[in-house]
Structure 1
Amino acid sequence: MIEMTKRILLVCGGGASSGFLAANIRKYAKKQGADMQIEARSESELSNYINDIDVLLVGPHLAYMEDEIKSMTDPKDIPMALIDEDDYGMMNGAAVYDQIVTMLGDD
């Protein structure tokens, strides 16, 4: 099987805070030698990217939208999860990277 770049999308309210977290995840993923494209966008842009991602992570402050977002990801078999509130607040790229790996099933 040919390994493909994994496309990860983080969404938050405006895309700014998830952008900082995405940068931290990219740095950590690079150190791990992982082939990941990690982007951050506003939740309002999700529908523009949903067909081009392998994993979706959602800011914890958008928990109220979880069912709506799952209605977009489930039919496409895209793993989706909320980012841990502490990891999000601390911009813990390593912990969120580990969450991504678990979601992908690549241990």
Structure 2
Amino acid sequence: MLLICGSGASSGFMAANMRKYVKKAGYDYKIQARSESELGDYVDDIDALMVGPHLKAEFEALAARVPEKVKVILMHPDYYAILDGKGAVEHLRQELEA
């Protein structure tokens, strides 16, 4: 799973919190954070792409840059704003099961 934001800074903090929750919950997810400009380097190695809510205007263009097999998810501002790793992981799980 790859998490992206504009520069990679806020997504780095969010990814760290998500990794903590994943470990605690016993889920088998590998979570990485990168900047939007690095997306092309990782598209072949991911199953899901979570996009920071501040990139909502670019969401469709970002989704078009990844293979069809990749689930592309726009993160919700409510958990993203407070870097709630549990909220993000649970949103990811819901989307992957849908």
TM-score over 0.5 for the pair? yes
**Is 1:45 aligned with 2:54?**
no
Q: Work out whether 1:70 is the aligned partner of 2:93.
A: no
1:76 shift after superposition: 2.6
Cα deviation, residue 60, structure 1: 0.6
Count of residue pairs the alignment pairs up: 98
Instruction: Work out whether 1:60 is the aligned partner of 2:68.
Output: no
The alignment's C-alpha RMSD in Å is 1.3
- 1:105 shift after superposition: 1.4
Kindly provide the amino acid, as one letter, of the partner of residue 100 in structure 1.
L
Dislocated runs of 4+, deviation >4 Å: none
Identity of aligned residues (%): 45
Secondary structure, counterpart of 2:7 in structure 1 = coil
Gaps of 5+ in 2: none
- Partner Cα distance (2:30, 2:68) in 1: 19
- Gapped regions of structure 1 (runs ≥ 5): 1-7
Could you state the TM-score of these two structures normalised by the residue count of structure 1?
0.86
Q: How many Å apart are 1:70 and its aligned residue?
A: 1.5
Structure with max Cα Rg: 1
Instruction: Tell me, yes or no, if the aligned pair for 2:73 and 2:92 is still in contact at 8 Å.
Output: no
Q: Which residue of 1 aligns with 2:17?
A: 24
In structure 2, C-alpha distance between the alignment counterparts of 1:67 and 1:34, rounded to whole Å: 29
